Amino acid sequence: MSELKKRLLSILESPKHNTEEKLEKVCHLLDQEISYFNWTGFYFKNGDKDELKLGPYVGAPTDHTIIPYGKGICGQVAVSNETFVVPDVNEESNYLSCSIDTKAEIVVPIFKDGKNIGQIDIDSHTIDPFTQEDRELLEWLCNEVSKIL
């Protein structure tokens, strides 16, 4: 197991912090360790509504604190239940711009008891930075995160 995975697991398994604090620490660690992760945050299903609500994040403030299902990349993942990698946001017609600096995005759903309950959203200021290794790491992370929710 990679060093980064071990460090992420130690955050998630820490008895000292509540869930919100753990998720914030996860965002900080990813932000520090992966240079092209320029905005890292979680969105979660907002109660019974077909919308996402912003959770812990690291990066520039965003106006997108609520995202309706189907809108933007995050909203699409809430509907499709599949990881969505956008190498160049300028090529994506249903993109919600958080920052003029964002060039690429990856969104990975979080499942609990078979239901899509949220996601991790990463923006990058670099075109096409995300690797298969990044995708696998984030999918693994979302599986681990679901265990503490």
Query: So where are the chain's domains?
Result: 3-146
CATH of domain 3-146: 3.30.450.40
What is the torsional sign of CA 69, 70, 71, 76?
A: positive
Please state, in angstroms and rounded to a whole number, the distance separating the CA atoms of residues 88 and 36.
Answer: 14
pTM, rounded to two decimals: 0.96
Q: Cα torsion for 14, 17, 21, 25, to the nearest 10°?
A: -30
Q: What is the pLDDT of residues 98-146, one digit of tens each?
A: 778 999 999 999 999 999 999 999 999 999 999 999 999 999 999 999 9
Q: Is 132 left (phi over 0), alpha (psi -120 to 50) or beta?
A: alpha
* Amino acid in the structure at residue 14: S
pLDDT on residue 84: 97
Where residue 95 falls among pLDDT bands split at 50, 70, 90? Answer: confident
Q: What is the pLDDT of residues 31-50, one digit of tens each?
A: 999 999 999 999 999 999 99
Inter-residue contact 112 to 143 (CB < 8 Å): no
Q: Which two tokens stand for residue 109?
A: 């759903």
* Strands of the sheet with 104-112, listed across from one edge: 66-68, 51-58, 39-45, 115-124, 104-112, 84-86
The answer to whether residue 28 scores a pLDDT higher than 90 is yes
